[in-house]
């Protein structure tokens, strides 16, 4: 089996676990008696670790042992999640959520480093490998929704533990990287790259977009339930959103030939703004929700492409793990933490609809930053997409 096929399988399993966890973890916690504010605190605490942890893990991985670090993180994720569902107290759930988040969210950027490295940095090929993660998410959320419709959420811990365990096995099968190719000749100081205008603005955009997703990742399944949608319909809507990602990842080379990374950020932000307004005001209409979920391809897939390629372009090969981890930490981590907290406060203090309206305003700011802040930077030119 080729290195690319093994990585595709790894993405399939990893994001299969994400496809179970992301849509159904909040309802699972609610079924155990946790309040909406407590759930937002649990997820926000986990996101807080994600804001720092992957960057530290990326630094370790850049010490020429990225595959060993990847496998260690998968092992810690399995051990921590196996304990997590057994915790009844909020403090215990928070503690093991922190450990699981630290390890689990370090796996994805390290997979990205392996995928980009084994393909010689070819971003178009990366998209064709990464799309299998979206396929895994689709299958897991769809089948999970159907299964939980019949059995309730009691089976979620066993299913998640199984998928996390399979992810660990997948890390043992991928071709090891002892170092990032080109590290010795392309090394540059991390600090100077971090403080460049392009890096700072791109990180701010990624964080703002992630903030806007707080209401979606924490409360979307509960929001649908409030409006009469069942578990199976909820799983199908989550799967539909990720199905749209597959098209974007498969069309990676065409996107890169036509658009700069700056334009990818702009499109991701504007499309996400439209999406949150639809969810806020037309949730009662299934067809409108279908349109909103198809727009997920912009807010996640296009954004993910923009973040991964920004890290690849801004940080040379010797800083590859730290560059990918930085965007994951600041975007998904810090942005996710603030978004989860903000969503909980607005959901409880104002209304569920208000949490999505505020999210739409946040991504407008991200679009303005991309239009003005990245103009004339290295991210404002079309990269050469390798096939």
Sign of CA dihedral 77, 82, 83, 89: positive
CB 288 within 8 A of CB 323: no
Q: DSSP 3-state helix, strand, coil percentages of the chain (rounded to 5)?
A: 85, 0, 15
Instruction: In whole angstroms, give the CA distance from residue 6 to residue 171.
Output: 9
- CA 185 to chain CA mean position, Å: 31
CATH 1.20.1250.20 assigned to domain 3-178+189-380? The reply is: yes
Instruction: Identify which of 225, 330, 209 has the alpha carbon closest to the alpha carbon of residue 273.
Output: 209
Residue 131: how many other CB atoms lie within 10 Å: 22
CB 29 within 8 A of CB 219: no
What totals of helices (H) and strands (E) does the chain contain, helices first?
Answer: 20, 0
H/E element holding 183? Answer: helix 183-186
Transcribe 136-158 into DSSP letters: HHHHHHHHHHHHHHHH-GGGHHH
What's the confidence (pLDDT) of residue 162? 94
Instruction: Spell out the domain ranges in the chain.
Output: 3-178+189-380
CA angle, 224 then 227 then 233, to 5°: 45
- As to burial, measured by CB atoms within 10 angstroms (0-12 exposed, 13-18 middle, 19+ buried), residue 288 is middle
What's the confidence (pLDDT) of residue 189? 66
Contacting residues for 27 by C-beta, under 8 A, at least 6 apart = 153, 221, 222, 225, 231
CB burial of 66-90 (b: ≥16 within 10 Å; e: otherwise) equals bbbbbbbbbbbbbbbbbebbeeeee
CB 258 within 8 A of CB 308: no
* Phi-psi label, residue 340: left if phi above 0, alpha if psi -120 to 50, beta otherwise: alpha
Q: How far is CA 350 from CA 33, 276, 356, 358, in A?
A: 22, 17, 11, 11
* Longest Cα–Cα distance in the chain: 58
What's the confidence (pLDDT) of residue 184? 42
Transcribe 310-375 into DSSP letters: HHHHHS-GGGHHHHHHHHIIIIIIIIHHHHHHHHHHHHHHT-HHHHHHHHHHHHHHHHHHHHHHST
Those residues of the chain that have pLDDT short of 70 are 1, 63-64, 118-124, 178-193, 252-257, 316-321, 382-387
């Amino acid at each position: 089996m080729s290195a690319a096929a093994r990585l595709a399988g790894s993405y399939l399993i990893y994001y299969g676990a994400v496809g179970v966890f992301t849509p159904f973890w909040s309802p699972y916690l609610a079924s155990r008696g946790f309040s909406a504010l407590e759930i937002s605190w649990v997820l926000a605490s986990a996101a807080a670790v994600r804001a720092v942890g992957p960057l530290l893990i990326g630094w370790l991985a850049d010490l020429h042992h990225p595959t060993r670090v990847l496998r260690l993180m998968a092992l810690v994720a399995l051990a921590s999640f196996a304990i997590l569902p057994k915790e009844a107290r909020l403090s215990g759930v928070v503690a093991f959520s922190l450990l699981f988040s630290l390890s689990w969210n370090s796996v994805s950027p390290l997979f990205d480093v392996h995928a980009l490295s084994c393909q010689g940095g070819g971003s178009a090929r990366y998209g064709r490998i990464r799309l299998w993660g979206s396929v895994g998410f689709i299958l897991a959320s769809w089948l999970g929704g159907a299964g939980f419709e019949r059995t309730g959420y009691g089976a979620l811990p066993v299913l998640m533990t199984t998928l996390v365990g399979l992810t660990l096995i997948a890390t043992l099968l991928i071709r090891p990287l002892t170092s990032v190719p080109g590290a010795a000749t392309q090394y540059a100081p991390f600090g100077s790259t971090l403080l460049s205008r392009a890096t700072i603005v791109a990180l701010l955009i990624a964080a703002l977009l992630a903030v806007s997703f707080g209401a979606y990742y924490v409360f979307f399944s509960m929001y649908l339930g409030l409006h009469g949608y069942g578990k199976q319909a909820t799983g199908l809507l989550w799967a539909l959103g990720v199905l749209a990602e597959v098209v974007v990842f498969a069309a990676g080379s065409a996107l890169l030939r036509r658009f700069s990374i700056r334009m990818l950020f702009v499109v991701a932000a504007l499309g996400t703004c439209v999406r949150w307004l639809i969810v806020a005001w037309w949730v009662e209409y299934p067809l409108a929700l279908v349109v909103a979920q198809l727009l997920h391809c912009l807010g996640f897939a296009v954004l993910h492409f923009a973040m991964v390629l920004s890290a690849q372009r801004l940080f040379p090969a010797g800083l590859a793990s730290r560059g990918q981890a930085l965007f994951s930490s600041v975007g998904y981590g810090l942005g996710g933490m603030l978004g989860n907290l903000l969503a909980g406060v607005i959901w409880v203090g104002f209304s569920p609809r208000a949490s999505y309206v505020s999210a739409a305003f946040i991504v407008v700011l991200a679009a303005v930053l991309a239009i003005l802040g990245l103009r004339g930077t290295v991210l404002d030119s079309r990269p050469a997409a390798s096939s």
